[in-house]
Structure 1
């Protein structure tokens, strides 16, 4: 676990940010375009940023991308999603992704929610 992180979720978020920073130094143009694209995708529009984070969490669970699961669980909480809203999005994802999506939800997502809620207290 990272020395500056107080739990595994925070450590994973820091590891992602460090990796993105290294990639940005090595590929600044590509990173700049990718970042601009994703910022536009998550900009408030007809769909709220909250809705977009719930969608992103569902896609992350379906694709089994652990860093994105952590990142978008945090995004959901940062956008004011309740645990119930997150769990309902998980249910929809499990309807498509089956046991693989559900296994990440009942372990990684719940751990992230607990870790992040403990950080904010």
Structure 2
């Protein structure tokens, strides 16, 4: 069995933490999950566009778990590498070097690892 890569490990760590929180605070978790699921439903904006927005906000906020999660979301919704990198560019226009440093490291690493894990 292949060792888990960084991206998969981070996604699993988030999932585990969310599971613990859900057991301890079920009403809050349920409300939060319902809210976020509703926000990401197809609407005027596609789910793909919403994932790109979320990735940009994650980069700007320097939230590593969300950067990984929404990079995966972008790929799951069919974003190309170019679309993801263009999202990064727009984010860097607002977030400067901090956003760019996450993009050139964590986003690119996540894209590679997630692509590799799909084969």
Smaller-chain TM-score bracket: over 0.9
Aligned length: 119
**Superposition misfits of 4+ residues, deviation over 3 angstroms:** none
Are 1:12 and 1:67, in contact at CA under 8 Å, matched by a contact in 2? yes
Distance in 2, matches of 1:112 and 1:82, equals: 14
Calculate the TM-score normalised by the size of structure 1.
0.96
2:60 and 2:48 map into 1 onto residues whose CA distance is 19
Q: Which runs of 5+ in 1 are unaligned?
A: none
Taking the TM superposition and a 5 Å limit, the aligned residue runs for 1:8-19 are 8-19=6-17
Counterparts of 2:101 and 2:35 in 1: how far apart (Å)? 30
| TM-score (norm: length of structure 2) | 0.98
Residue matched to 2:54: 56
Coordinate RMSD, CA, aligned: 1.3
Q: Which residue is 2:83 aligned to?
A: 85
Match of 2:29 among 28, 31, 50: 31
